[in-house]
Structure 1
Amino acid sequence: MRGINKIYKIDAKNIQDYLDSSNKIDPKMQSFKVALVYAIVGVIWIITSDNLAIQLAGRDNLYEQIQTYKGWGFVLLTTLVIYISIRNSLMLFDKAINEIYQNYDELNKSHETLLELEREIERQLQELHILAYYDTFTKLPNKLMLEKEIINLINNYKSESSADKFAFICLAIDNLEDINDILGHKYGDLLIKDVGDTLKDIVFDSNKVSKLKEDMFAIVLVNIKDKDEVVNKVNKILLKLKRGWKVNNQEFHITYNLGISIYPIDANNFNDLLKNSNMALSKVKTLEKDKISFYNKKIEEINTVKINLINEIIHAIENELFSLYYQPIVDLKRNVVIGVEALIRWIHPKKGFVSPMDFVPLAESIGLIDNIEQWVFRKALMQKKFWNEKGYKAIKISINLSSKRISNDCFIDELCSMTNSLEIDKSEIQLEVTETSVIDNLETSSEVLNKLRNMGFKIALDDFGTGYSSLTYINSLSMDVVKIDKEFIKSIFDKDKNAIIVMAVMNLIHSIDLLVVAEGIENIEQKEFLKLNGCDMGQGYLYSKALPAVEVEQLFNIQFE
């Protein structure tokens, strides 16, 4: 485009010189000049030729006059013809020149517009480049730019046949969610910018730093020899980052987790380096805060198993491959079954029995627990309906609620609809929650449980003794039953104090008008102790393990010793 501009400017200069006022053609004046020259030459020719003719042939007045008039007439006529012809031609030429000038003027304006457009396009391209390759908030390179830089770095290492390595580090801010919740996202953004600015200051030379996502940065440390060197450099970076962060006179101690992969030991391309660093980061996040983790093959193997298990859970949900087992709950005074706890079981076609502890927390973490719990409620209530029709209406059924369900009351209408359509008395349904599932969102959980209790459902606090074991929570959550955890029961006779603690706990629970269920009763001594100290109900292997519906039904008509 610049070459075209150069040619265009030279031609434009020539045209402009030609159209200058001193050089501009006036068709009438030019025609007049040509005709005048012709007339003068013609007059001179007539006079000269006439004189020559007189000298040679003599003077004849009439002839002379005729010749003179004829000559003058011819000169005048031809002068007029030449003037008109030249004038018309020059006027056409002048018109063409004017049109050329107008077109040139328009072209010149278009040229200026194109130049302005070119400048605007260049500016927008620069902006697009920044938007495409840089984080607009921290001004750090983003993932796309980092990928380009890593590819170039790897190509340089390969071309130089270098034995050096580089470390690819994913650094995540642990406290960002807390700051967003307490102070708002405005201050969370300020923290991110502050961390980005700090990293720009301390990561320099050929090392690289970029922004990957909201709470995560990437750091590339080049020319490293081993993991010890990486740890030393990372600790120097963290020394600058780990400082009190003060906002509105409130100080926050910022912590970080780091996942690290090494080129070319762990991976030899950008995507795998990023993936492996993220895997190492995910591992350390699940363990504790403020730690560094290097990638290793075992992490990937664990993740592969986890991914496969997730796919199998989805397949099991879609094809209803789970089943419900029921563990009897026994009235310790009458020694008869008064209820059952519905427990999900998964008999895998290849792996056999898969513990709920392996798949339920995983299903909850990936958002599949709703699908599982819907199935559990439907199957358990249908089984309750079946037992009611067979005459076992007195058998209550207990169903566990996950923390996700307790924190959202959307499922209540669904649960009520199922119990109403199956004509089941809500007082025969007991919903079990754990302390840990309600503590994180106590206010909402309390509202949900109160709604359920007011509708007629029974509420039980499960696994009491494994969490905070606070009677304050029991009282505020409006419970009907407290289930003492099996570890509490198991340790009754380990020390004298343990038995005293269990008795005190049961007395306190009774003092606020709640029933007590002891879980994990395995022997007669435990049963007798609990019965003697006023425990209302119990469940455990002494009576029965969890059984399929057909088998547990056989225990409804017997009396335990």
Structure 2
Amino acid sequence: MKDINKIYRMNERNIQYYLDSSSKINPKRQSFKVASVYAIVGIIWIVTSDNLAVYVAGRDNLYEQIQTYKGWVFVLLTTLVIYISIRNSLMLFDKALNEIYQNYDELNKSHETLLELEGEIERQLQDLHILAYYDTFTKLPNKHLLEKEIKNLINSSKIESLTNKFAFICLTIDNLADINDILGHKYGDLLIKNVGNTLKDIINNPNKISKLKEDMFAIILLNIKDKNEVVDKVNNILLKLKRGWKINNQEFHISYNLGISLYPIDGSNFNDLLKNSNMALSKVKSLEKDKVSFYDKTIEERNVVKINLINEIIHAIENEQFSLFYQPIVDLKKNVVIGVEALIRWIHPKKGFVSPMDFVPLAESMGLIDNIEKWVFKQALMQKKSWNEKGYKSIKISINLSSKRMNNDCFIDELCSMTNSMEIDREEVQLEITETSVIDNLEIAGIMLNKLRSMGFKIALDDFGTGYSSLTYINSLSMDVVKIDKEFIKSISNKNKNAIIVTAVMNLIHSLDLVVVAEGIENIEQKEFLKLNGCDMGQGFLYSKALPAVEVEKLFTIKFE
């Protein structure tokens, strides 16, 4: 573009040269100029030559000859003058023509360059349109183009007074993370592309298909009558999608989840329809695979409650609304407290007591548990230090450890740093894990627990009996204590099957040289049965509920009956 402007300015200067008064061609003036020169030269010549001839020859034959020669000389001189005058004008004209032809050629070249630039700009605009409105990998319309199409669809329905419903469906691939983890993202991308191609084949006009994000597609089914029709069409789509995908001789059975909102019932614009179908999708993800969920207001109400609770948890962390209570762990043979389990409690300023079951799982899912557990460990160890200083060094402190915290590489360093700075014997600190917290990654959990035990910490398997209840985990993981869940304990008697199972489990645990703790002891019959069958320790309401530190201290010096 700079070159074209330069050529234009140069041509403008050249043309201006011929428009200047000193150089421009004027036919009338030029003709008058030539005629005037000719007349003046002629008159001068005649007068001068006649006088000269009379002076030289007088009026005789020589005079006549000189007149003849003079005529020829005059013709030659005037011819020369006329030639020079016309030549100068024509040379100027020729120069002008050459400049015009040259400028014309340059303009032609500039025009060709402009045409090429125009073509390039058009190609770039097409590329930009594709980048703006299409997914570069699957070549499907993206979210922006789908939004425009939905707006046009809704506007045309309003203009034409149509009431036709359509379904806005969000579809996600469940197995994508597995494929990415096992084979790498290259094959995950290949799966997405294959799913996109399959959807292109089965979703016909006027229905629409779009790629919303990495593992999510949008399907718009037009002119639907009711939910039953949507379900039928969705089942047909899933039937064609649900097949084994074989990649590098590895077969994967792909499953999908779908969330559906309906226009105009669940939303009158693109954003509401997308939001509500996503809400329906989030609900179904917690259920079985290949499930379909329609949006309803209760989902949104639950989500509002969830969001409010998340915000309240964050405020509780910032404002230190949490506190620790401690439930005694009793030696069943000596009937004395030998340790306590630290349990988090949340006293909400407006709601009062909030159960850990209501906020701990949510905190884990939202990534907030790390901050909470950091606080719990610090507070529990500070309390242990305080009891040590009061003379209760034999009281062990038992703290629950989540899977997220256990997989944190910095956790061990933090824990060791706190016990060192507080001068706490690590053998007096017990970390409680659950089966479900280790089963997803048994190998990493084993490495972590071995490190902790090698540093002196005690490890307890909590809630044994609520998960897979496999003794394999007890044998393969490095631990010291197994805590039998209260669900087993609450129904035991000398005659029922639970009693037989609990007795057998305790015998097996003892055979592995581990300590057995029974949770949820609520009556004397349960205590006596456990004591008779060799259970080492117990905790439950029979002895005490979880108490604040000041109150639980009072139990350290008493002996239970």
Deviation track 1:410-450 (CA, whole Å, cap 9, x = no partner) reads 21111111111111111111111000000001000110111
Alpha-carbon distance, 1:208 to partner: 0.2
**Partner Cα separation in structure 1 for residue 104 and residue 239 of structure 2:** 68
Contact 1:408–1:448 under 8 Å retained in 2: no
CA contact (8 A) 2:258 2:281 kept: yes
Could you tell me how far 1:193 is from its partner in structure 2? Answer: 1.7
The residue number in structure 1 matching 2:443 is 443
Indicate conservation of the 8 Å contact 1:133/1:143, yes or no.
yes
- Which residue of structure 2 lines up, in the alignment, with residue 146 of structure 1? 146
Q: Give the aligned partner of residue 19 of structure 1.
A: none
- Which residue of structure 2 aligns with residue 498 of structure 1? 498
Aligned counterparts of 1:427 and 1:93: Cα–Cα separation in 2: 111
2:548 pairs with 1:548: yes
The one-letter amino acid paired with 1:356 is P
Matched, 1:341 2:354: no
CA contact (8 A) 1:135 1:211 kept: yes
Map of 2:312 onto structure 1: 312
Distance 1:343 1:77 in 2: 129
Corresponding residue number in structure 2 for 1:488:
488
Is 1:161 matched up with 2:161?
Answer: yes
Contact 2:165–2:262 (8 Å) recurs in 1: yes
Matched, 1:84 2:79: no
- Match of residue 105 from structure 1: 105
Partners of 2:415 and 2:317 in 1: how far apart? 19
Within 1, Cα distance between the matches of 2:198 and 2:83?
87
Q: Which residues in structure 2 correspond to 1:377-388 (within 5 Å)?
A: 377-388=377-388
Any conservation in 2 of the 1:434–1:464 contact (CA below 8 Å)? yes
The CA distance in 1 between the partners of 2:512 and 2:528, in whole Å, is 24
TM-score under structure 1 length normalisation: 0.87
Is 1:351 the counterpart of 2:324? The answer is: no
CA distance in 2, matches of 1:531, 1:413: 39
- For the 8 Å contact 1:324–1:376, the answer to whether it is kept is yes
Q: In the alignment, does 2:469 pair up with 1:469?
A: yes
Q: Partners in 1 of 2:408 and 2:177 — Cα distance?
A: 21
SS at match of 2:286: helix
Instruction: Work out whether residues 142 and 212 of structure 1, in 8 Å CA contact, stay in contact via their aligned partners in 2.
Output: yes
Residues 182-212 of structure 1: CA deviation (Å, up to 9, x unaligned):
3333332222222211111111121001111
* Cα deviations by residue, 1:483-538 (Å, 9 ceiling, x for unpaired): 11111111213962110110111111111111011111111111111111111111
SS of residue matched to 2:345: strand
1:140–1:211 contact (8 Å) kept in structure 2: yes
Q: Distance in 2 between matches of 1:289 and 1:176?
A: 13
Q: Secondary structure at the match of 1:547?
A: coil
Matched letter for residue 384 of structure 1: K
Matches of 1:210 and 1:398 in 2, distance apart?
52
Distance 2:87 2:318 in 1: 96
Shift of 1:105: 2.5
Deviates more, 1:334-343 or 1:80-89: 80-89
Give the corresponding residue for 2:273: 273
Against the structure 1 CA distance between its residues 298 and 559, is the aligned structure 2 distance closer, same or farther, given a 3 Å change threshold? same
Per-residue CA deviations over 1:242-269 (Å, capped at 9, x if unaligned) read 2232334443322211100001100011
Instruction: Note the alpha carbon deviations across 1:216-245, whole angstroms, 9 max, x for none.
Output: 111001111111111111112122112232
Q: CA deviation digits over 1:314-366, x for unaligned, max 9?
A: 11112222111111111111111111111111111111111111111111111
Asked if the contact 1:406/1:438 (under 8 Å) is kept, the reply is no
Report if the CA contact (8 A) 1:407-1:441 is conserved. no
Matched residue SS, 1:424: coil
* Per-residue deviation, residues 453-493 of structure 1 (Å, max 9, x unmatched): 10011111000011111111112111011111111111213
- Deviation of 1:87 after TM superposition, in Å, equals 2.5
After alignment, is 472-481 or 487-496 more displaced? 487-496
- Name the residue aligned to 1:24: none
Structure 2 counterpart of 1:434, one-letter code: T
Secondary structure (helix, strand or coil) at the match of 1:433 reads strand
Please state whether the residue corresponding to 2:555 is helix, strand or coil.
Answer: coil
- SS at 1:100 equivalent: helix
Letter in 1 for 2:430: Q
Question: How do residues 420-435 of structure 1 correspond to structure 2 at under 5 angstroms?
Answer: 420-435=420-435
Superposed CA deviations along residues 28-74 of structure 1, whole A, max 9, x for unmatched, are xxx9xx99xx89xx9xxx9xxx9xxxxxxxx8646545655555555
Aligned in 2, Cα 1:152/1:467: closer, same or farther, shift over 3 Å?
A: same
State the partner residue of 2:233: 233
**Alignment pair present for 1:93 and 2:132:** no
Q: Is the 8 A contact 1:259 1:277 kept in 2?
A: yes
Q: How far apart in 1 are the matches of 2:407 and 2:288?
A: 25
SS at match of 1:230: helix
Identity of aligned residues (%): 86
Give the Cα separation in 2 of the matches to 1:318 and 1:81.
107
User: 3-state SS of the aligned residue for 1:166?
Assistant: strand
Q: Name the counterpart of 1:518.
A: 518
Partner of 2:453: 453
Tell me, which stretches of 5 or more residues in structure 2 are unaligned?
1-7, 9-14, 16-30, 51-58
CA distance in 1, matches of 2:494, 2:270: 57
User: 1:290 and 1:122, CA in 2 relative to 1: closer, same or farther beyond 3 A?
Assistant: same
Q: Which runs of 5+ in 1 are unaligned?
A: 1-7, 9-14, 16-30, 51-58
> Counterpart in 2 of 1:292?
292
Alpha carbons 1:327, 1:552 under 8 Å: kept:
yes
| One-letter amino acid matched to 1:206 | P
Aligned-partner Cα distance in 1 for 2:346–2:263: 42
Quote the Cα distance in structure 1 between the aligned partners of 2:310 and 2:60. 134
Q: Which residue of 1 aligns with 2:11?
A: none
Within 2, Cα distance between the matches of 1:381 and 1:445? 23
CA distance in 1, matches of 2:177, 2:487: 34
- Partner AA of 2:89 in structure 1: S
Contact 1:435 1:467 in 2 (8 A): yes
Q: Report deviation, 1:390.
A: 1.1
CA distance in structure 1 between the partners assigned to 2:319 and 2:77 by the alignment: 113
> Would you say 1:364 and 2:350 are equivalent positions?
no
RMSD: 2.7
Q: CA deviation at 1:75?
A: 4.3
Residues of 2 paired with 1:357 and 1:212: CA distance?
35
Per-residue CA distance 1:296-327 (angstroms, 9 max, x = gap)? 00000000111111111111112222111111
**Cα distance between partner residues in 1 of 2:553 and 2:96:** 110
**1:369 CA displacement:** 1.1
SS at match of 2:204: coil
Tell me the CA shift for residue 124 of structure 1. Answer: 1.8
- Give the counterpart letter for 2:412 in structure 1: I
SS state at 2:330 partner: strand
Q: Distance in 2 between matches of 1:281 and 1:523?
A: 46
Residues 374-413 of structure 1: CA deviation (Å, up to 9, x unaligned): 1111111111111111111111111111111222332111
Alpha-carbon distance in 2 for matches of 1:383, 1:186: 51
Q: Name the structure 1 match of 2:529.
A: 529
| Alignment length (residue pairs) | 519
Aligned with 2:289: secondary structure?
coil
Matched residue of 2:161: which SS? coil
Kept in 2: contact 1:408–1:444 (CA 8 A): no
Tell me the residue number matched to 1:323. 323
- Distance in 2 (alpha carbons) for counterparts of 1:94 and 1:423: 106
Q: Is the 8 A contact 2:434 2:461 kept in 1?
A: yes
Instruction: For 1:284, give the aligned amino acid.
Output: V
Whole-Å separation in 2 of the counterparts to 1:384 and 1:330 = 17
8 Å contact kept, 1:482–1:515: yes
**Secondary structure of 2:284's partner?**
helix
